[in-house]
């Protein structure tokens, strides 16, 4: 079943295909009275925007967002906010090869089998271009949670990880990889360039930290904060894994090692937030935020579109092989960082409102 809405009380619905006239998001449930204009959204669009370095697809899309509803005299009205992004650079290339044969790793085969046919132009609805609409919605969600600071960065490309000691969040904007470690960024430049030139592609891991989330957001059972984060992240194109806190690493710790020991508030008084001596849990316990930074990691597979020919079948079931020409990201995970930030913002804003529904203001 087509299901293009995410969220519980702050809900957004996206629409649009890679090669249609436009794509967009409708964000519903936003509180009224929040100052909002296109200028609040555009910087996040620009961060995700393709064509800005040789390490991303060369498709040139300005990704200008238009606000079509929900704002009056510069403020949100509490009614649905319709955000539209026109597609500009839908190159009229020949898609006959993609139309006829299935690209392994892509949704081509599963789509054709499910729907009976598909919009093969640039992946249609399954294109990562859909994530532009999430980034737009996420930019609005951030304004609902000004107390929270969300930062995502690439912490691993092609198996090469950043050095946690050398990490400096201020560096993220200074390289084309959203990388907080300048040395890693330099290595990745060579790594990604080689993959690109070889007609290959690389996977990546994106880490996201949300600071300032107060204790108490989330729910104990099926709308656990971490479960909603997992759903949000695993819904991003090309993702194959999600970890909260230590993630799979936690499975290798003993109970004593994994315990986030607690001490009284820093000022020594028993007022205020306690100190945690570690954050193995990644900021949630029992599905509810603890007041520590919320931390998740998301695995992106290597871009499935590669120039190297791979064996496949055509849509009549005959053996063939396919090379995916066209403009592609050699490492789709890089541009995943702004999308991960957006999904984190959308989940957290939803949970802020859910918490307020049950408890009122804190």
Min CB(74)–a second copy separation in Å = 11
Q: Which is nearer to a second copy, 43 or 286 (CB)?
A: 286
Pick from 70, 60, 66: which is nearest to 85 by CA?
66
Q: Which is nearer to a second copy, 182 or 315 (CB)?
A: 315
Min CB(102)–a second copy separation in Å = 6
Q: Which is nearer to a second copy, 172 or 195 (CB)?
A: 195
Rounded Cα distance between 138 and 14, Å, is 12
φ and ψ at residue 2, rounded to 5 degrees: -65, 130
Pick from 336, 244, 235, 335: which is nearest to 293 by CA?
244
Q: Which is nearer to a second copy, 186 or 318 (CB)?
A: 318
Q: Which is nearer to a second copy, 146 or 255 (CB)?
A: 255
Min CB(41)–a second copy separation in Å = 16
State the helix-helix crossing angle for 225-234 and 336-359, rounded to 10 degrees: 150
Q: Which is nearer to a second copy, 174 or 275 (CB)?
A: 275
Rounded Cα distance between 84 and 194, Å, is 36
* 135 and 48 Cβ atoms separated by less than 8 Å: yes
Min CB(170)–a second copy separation in Å = 25
Min CB(47)–a second copy separation in Å = 21
Q: Which is nearer to a second copy, 47 or 244 (CB)?
A: 244
Q: Which residue has the tokens 């392994």?
A: 104
Q: Which residue has the tokens 């508030």?
A: 265
Q: DSSP characters for 136-199?
A: HHHHHHHHH-TT-EEEEEEEEETTEE--GGG--GGGGGGSTT--S-HHHHHHHHHHHHHHHHTT
Rounded Cα distance between 244 and 228, Å, is 11
Pick from 72, 80, 102, 66: which is nearest to 29 by CA?
80
Min CB(329)–a second copy separation in Å = 11
Min CB(145)–a second copy separation in Å = 13
């Amino acid at each position: 079943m087509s299901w293009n809405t995410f969220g519980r009380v702050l809900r957004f619905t996206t629409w649009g295909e890679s090669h249609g006239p436009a794509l967009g998001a409708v964000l519903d449930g936003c509180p009224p009275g929040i100052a909002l204009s296109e200028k609040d959204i555009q910087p996040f669009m620009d961060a995700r925007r393709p064509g800005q370095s040789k390490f991303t697809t060369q498709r040139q899309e300005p990704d200008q967002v238009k606000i079509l509803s929900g704002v009056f005299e510069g403020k949100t009205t509490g009614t649905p906010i319709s955000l539209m992004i026109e597609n500009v650079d839908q190159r009229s290339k020949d898609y006959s090869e993609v139309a006829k044969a299935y690209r392994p790793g892509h949704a081509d085969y599963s789509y054709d089998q499910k729907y009976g046919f598909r919009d093969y132009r640039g992946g249609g609805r399954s294109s990562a271009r859909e994530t532009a609409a999430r980034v737009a919605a996420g930019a609005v969600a951030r304004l609902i949670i000004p107390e929270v600071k969300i930062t995502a960065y690439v912490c691993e490309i092609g198996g090469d990880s950043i050095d946690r000691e050398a990490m400096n969040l201020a560096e993220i904007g200074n390289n084309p990889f959203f990388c907080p470690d300048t040395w890693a960024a330099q290595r990745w430049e060579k790594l990604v360039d080689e993959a690109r030139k070889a007609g290959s592609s690389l996977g990546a891991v994106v880490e996201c930290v949300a600071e300032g989330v107060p204790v108490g957001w989330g729910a104990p059972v099926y709308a656990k904060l971490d479960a909603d984060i997992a759903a949000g992240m695993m819904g991003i194109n090309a993702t194959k894994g999600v970890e909260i806190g230590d993630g799979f690493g936690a499975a290798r710790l003993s109970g004593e090692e994994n315990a986030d020991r607690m001490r009284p508030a820093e000022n020594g008084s028993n007022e205020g937030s306690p100190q945690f001596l570690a954050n193995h849990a990644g900021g949630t316990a029992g599905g509810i935020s603890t007041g520590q930074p919320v931390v998740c990691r998301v695995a992106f597979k290597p871009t499935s579109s590669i120039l190297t020919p791979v064996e496949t079948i055509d849509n009549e079931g005959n053996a063939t092989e396919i090379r995916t020409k066209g403009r592609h990201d050699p490492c789709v995970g890089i541009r995943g960082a702004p999308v991960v930030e957006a999904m984190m913002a959308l989940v957290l804003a939803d949970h802020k409102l859910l918490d307020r529904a049950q408890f009122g203001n804190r």
